[in-house]
Amino acid sequence: DGTKSYTLDAVGYSTSTLNITYVKGESHETINGDGSKTLNVGNNSFDVVVTAHNGTDKTTYTINVYRKSNNANLATLNVTSSKTGSLDKPFNANTTTYTYNTDADETSVNISYTKAHNGATVVTTPANLTGINPRTTSSVTIEVTPEDTTQAKKTYTINFAVAKSTNGNLSEITV
C-alpha cells in the first residue's frame, strides 16, 4: 500500500478538463479514477487507485493541478471625499464606468477596492488613489488583469463631476 503524488504545471483558464489515462503494470490490476476530469478554478486533486490482483494491496496515485482564474472583476469599489460626494450608481462588478459627483471646493478624494480573485493584478492611474484632487484630475482608471493573463482584462473608470461654484464674491477689490 502506498501513495504517490504528482503535481502538474498550472493550466490556463481555457483548460477545463484533464484526461487521465494509464498503462497497467500487471494485467490483473483493477484501476479506478481514470478518465476525463472536470477542472475547477484553483486547486484540483484526483486519485487513481490501483488494486493488485490479490484484491488487498493498493497504490494511490494523486494528481494535483491548478487551474488559473479568468476573473478580472473587482469585488468592491469605494469612493470617499472630505466633503460631500457620491457615485452616480451603486457598485456592480459588471459596470465599468462611474461618475463621482462632488462639491465645487472638494480637493481630496480617496478610492479603495478589493479584487474578486486574489490572483488578479491591478494597475491604477494615477498610481496613488488617496488625496486625489477632482478639480485637477478628471478621471481614475483601475485596470484588472486576471490570473490567467491570456484572458480579457477589465478597466473600471471613475470620472469626476465637480459642481460649479456658487461663490460670486471677490476675495479682494482695489480701486
Span 21-29, mean pLDDT? 90
| pTM, rounded to two decimals | 0.83
pLDDT score, position 1: 63
Give me the pLDDT at residue 38, please: 98
Output the pLDDT for position 25: 87
Long-range contacts of residues 48-53, Cβ cutoff 8 Å, at least 24 apart:
48/20, 48/22, 50/25, 52/26, 52/28, 53/26, 53/28, 53/29
Q: What is the pLDDT of residues 37-83, one digit of tens each?
A: 999 999 999 999 999 999 999 999 999 999 999 999 999 999 999 88
**DSSP states of 90-142:** ---TT--EEEEEE-TT---EEEEEEESSTT-EEEEESS--SSB-TTT--EEEE
Amino acid (1-letter code) at residue 123: V
Q: How many CA atoms lie within 13 A of 166 on its CB side?
A: 2
Instruction: Give the total residue count for the chain.
Output: 175
Interval 104-147: pLDDT, tens: 888 999 999 999 999 999 999 999 999 999 999 999 999 999 99
All three cell numbers of 126, joined, read 494615477
